[in-house]
Structure 1
């Protein structure tokens, strides 16, 4: 991996956006990669372990979906606050705090006696991830500029893909050999290394530049929680009950109140509405929501389909996902360079379209048939399309704001992506509740929806981004 880091961290090009040379460019990238890899590893590993957790702790489709959403909900709602906290208290300081909280919550997950305790620990993990994710990108955004920043972000995205690739097979092996609780201990050595490197080599940035919007954070969390609860209730019962309508209405009302509050606070808001005056920024936001919503549903449902519908072991299901992460990891750095040369519009249009075609290929998915002919073609196409989108999307978002808002912008983009996954997982509960042929049929319907969302996201990028 060290070979991959030399180019983006060349001392002559690794300058901050203030024009000051970064003292330890290589270690700065390493620290941010390790920190963000915590979130990537945890997400990919937990998906593979879902059926085993369900058998051990009990619970139906809604309970298992909340094992994912208990983590995604605070992550999506508080990423904005996490970015603003980095701007206020210093990105390195908040990054380290988030890593510590994430590690402690991982121990809680491993020791959980029941689903309620597990969901609580997962929620605390989400809070830790909301602190570390935007500040890992914020540190890169403030440490590099120009093409060097594009390559650094591409390397960061590549490392996340590698972490996601390692997570499912290693996690699947641990589930089989030791038990599902062992997967959460995977986070501890990574967290320790990230903290040590950040303390020694990463420079502090943005200290005292922002404010904390606790009112906005509370409203965003309550709105997302209410909406997610309503969607999960509807998807598991296959009916729009009165509680579901009440939850949906309350969520939308709180979203409206959140927008009003952010407008009133102006530049002191954790999500300054002035950012939406930019057409490209709006386009990137819509694209992120659609594309990552489509992807989030697949990442949760495919391992479940293979294990429950096809009799795969957790290790086999983890290995089945390996091509996805390998392709993204191999290509993300190249697409980061491409974006620096041709701009984001072309890769962010082509990538989602290819991804949509990959989802369409998932209509052939049948866990009882050959993996090589029914599953792998769709995974490969989705991975190729996402490789075109991951690094260029991140770079485009960071470039769309000034220095003061890099933490807020990266937090908002990550929050949008996680919100898409949150909503998709809520709907995925309807698929998880199925068995036999009904499970395969429901998965195919989800694949059609995902294909449409991905194709629309590519068209949005083409229509809103500049040449």
Structure 2
């Protein structure tokens, strides 16, 4: 099989796996009222099943990335998908809210393997235009599946019940056999810096808990502040003493990695804000869950058409400029969504989701390409893990702002306030735009790339 054909097959399958992991949030979000009703709690408390999932999804991401540098992708991917499926099955049989929350946390810890390891495979296996198309396809399929999540979740809940909605990510097990050969090999064989991993995970948890505190309460904020305050100096000390440990010094001192991740983090912030805000606004107006999903469904078409545009922009404008385009589109999408939800214009709401999907399809591959090119192969997994952590924290910011400020400013006002994030992302990436300029197409790695 030629490299372009191989890249197409692998990227589509990894994108499907990524989308199923994302469906852990997008499909479950529409089931929260039913969860609250059956388990005797409020919708606000039931939302912890989303917050807990996202928390572990973010925190465990750099762990999987660094482990893949040491042992290769196959073992951590198998463990991750296994945990994701086990958690999903546990959620379907949970007899209490507490057991459901534990299952969802376990599911998030497993799902964290997919974002980092999927892009690590593509970054290492392909180059040039082939890699750009592959990364674009992965983001496109992931976004399309996630966009279909609310509709699929609404239909499944209506026909079978919310427990079946929680089981949907188990389908990821069916994908593994088809990518098993592609994820073989790799790894330096070095030992894992367990102390460094624990410190990074704890500090990351503190950051995410603070970000989510507007919707989760003062206690979560306090615990997060303690973890972050205690962990930050310990992580810094660990990096100084073990520069080649769990968090390599070459990664955290790399400006391209950090600026690219910060710029890209505005994109999931936009998406998760709409994922939480738009259904809430429409349901409050009497819409059914499946009707909300149907409104968001056309964005799947946009997602599947985005890879060609992504590959062209990466080839002719490079990662930093592609991130500028993506952030600009995301800012416009938030403005449109704020207007659409305030005035209850379904066409504007649907258009905002389309724009956000397009921005996500551009921005995530641009971040991956920029980060992957900025570091050596021996720390690529760690770099992508750190970048993906920052990326996912952006998603937590989006959902937390809408959940926390929605009652004060209204859904439209909270979405409008988030429009500043893509603009800040543009400011963050401008030094890279000025430093790199436009890529030389002749030197951009055109061709098939390694097989």
TM range (shorter): 0.7 to 0.9
Within 5 Å, give how 1:102-251 maps onto structure 2.
102-188=84-170, 190-199=171-180, 201-229=181-209, 232-235=212-215, 244-245=221-222, 247-251=224-228
2:257 counterpart (281, 295, 312): 281
Q: 1:289 to 1:255 in 2, by over 3 A?
A: farther
Cα offsets for 1:13-50 (capped at 9, x unmatched): 68xxxxxxxxx555433442333232122222112222
1:413 counterpart (368, 381, 387): 387
Q: How far apart, CA to CA, are the structure 1 residues paired with 2:12 and 2:354?
A: 28
2:326 counterpart (333, 336, 351): 351
1:316 counterpart (266, 291, 295): 291
Q: Contact between 1:352 and 1:458, CA under 8 Å: does it hold in 2?
A: yes
SS where residue 311 of structure 1 aligns? coil
Asked if residue 331 in structure 1 is aligned to residue 306 in structure 2, the reply is yes
Q: 1:333 to 1:163 in 2, by over 3 A?
A: farther
Within 5 Å, give how 1:299-314 maps onto structure 2.
299-307=275-283, 309-314=284-289
Q: How far apart, CA to CA, are the structure 2 residues paired with 1:152 and 1:124?
A: 29
Asked if residue 253 in structure 1 is aligned to residue 230 in structure 2, the reply is yes
SS where residue 185 of structure 2 aligns? coil
Q: 1:460 to 1:65 in 2, by over 3 A?
A: same
Q: 1:88 to 1:256 in 2, by over 3 A?
A: same
What is the TM-score of this pair, normalised by structure 1? 0.84
SS where residue 184 of structure 2 aligns? coil
Post-superposition offset of 1:318: 1.2
RMSD: 2.7
Asked if residue 444 in structure 1 is aligned to residue 425 in structure 2, the reply is no
Q: Contact between 2:207 and 2:224, CA under 8 Å: does it hold in 1?
A: yes
Post-superposition offset of 1:337: 3.3
Cα offsets for 1:386-416 (capped at 9, x unmatched): 3332322222222222211222222222211
Identify the residue that residue 399 of structure 2 maps to in structure 1. 425
Give ranges in structure 1 of 5+ residues lacking alignment.
1-9, 15-23
Q: 1:223 to 1:98 in 2, by over 3 A?
A: same
What is the TM-score of this pair, normalised by structure 2? 0.87
Question: Which range is displaced more, 316-325 or 219-228?
Answer: 219-228
Q: 1:94 to 1:248 in 2, by over 3 A?
A: closer
Q: Contact between 2:265 and 2:391, CA under 8 Å: does it hold in 1?
A: yes
Question: Which range is displaced more, 73-82 or 334-343?
Answer: 334-343
Q: How far apart, CA to CA, are the structure 2 residues paired with 1:361 and 1:267?
A: 46
Asked if residue 11 in structure 1 is aligned to residue 2 in structure 2, the reply is yes
Q: Contact between 2:136 and 2:362, CA under 8 Å: does it hold in 1?
A: no
SS where residue 113 of structure 1 aligns? coil
Post-superposition offset of 1:232: 4.8
Q: Contact between 1:344 and 1:392, CA under 8 Å: does it hold in 2?
A: yes
Q: How far apart, CA to CA, are the structure 2 residues paired with 1:231 and 1:43?
A: 17
Post-superposition offset of 1:83: 1.2
Q: How far apart, CA to CA, are the structure 2 residues paired with 1:392 and 1:90?
A: 23
Q: 1:93 to 1:396 in 2, by over 3 A?
A: same
Number of residue pairs matched by the alignment: 435
Cα offsets for 1:343-377 (capped at 9, x unmatched): 123221122112112211223233783412x4233
Q: How far apart, CA to CA, are the structure 1 residues paired with 2:402 and 2:64?
A: 28
